[in-house]
Amino acid sequence: EVELVESGGGLVEPGGSMRLSCRASGFTFDRSWMYWVRQAPGKKIDWLASIDQAGASTHYADRVKGRCIISRDNINNMVYLTINNLKPEESAVYYCVRASRLDYASVTPPLDRNFWGQGTQVTVSS
């Protein structure tokens, strides 16, 4: 069974940082691009970052570029997202996403939620 399990969410003060983790299982992790997206209630899906199979190529949305790092550990089937200088409007559920096809390069994550984890809530508030 394919699983993506996010962790690391919670409450963070404005200007603070957060590191999210995603544990993957049930598919060949090192053949899949991985992504992070977020969605706040009533808002559109917001793509944040993408990383290729080897972790050699990363891509970021302009709104997080320079304060966000996506990384992966192909030994332990983990993908991470660190965001610095968080703002209250960035409160959302953050999701780990896997590629819809293995060995396929795409910066854009699939919108089919069958390829998403269950998400972890991040609340930015004082």
**pLDDT class of 2 with cuts at 50, 70, 90:** very high
Question: What is the residue whose two structure tokens read 């854009």?
Answer: 108
Of the chain, the end-to-end C-alpha distance in Å amounts to 39
DSSP assignment of 99-118 equals -SSTT---SSPP--GGGB--
pLDDT in tens, 77-124: 999 999 999 999 999 999 999 999 999 999 999 999 999 999 999 999
- So what's the pLDDT on residue 111? 92
- So what's the pLDDT on residue 47? 97
Region 9-35 average pLDDT = 97
- So what's the pLDDT on residue 76? 98
Phi-psi region of 62 (alpha: psi -120 to 50; beta: other; left: phi over 0): alpha
pLDDT in tens, 27-81: 999 999 999 999 999 999 999 999 999 999 999 999 999 999 999 999 999 999 9
Nearest-CA neighbor of 19 among 40, 36, 41? 36
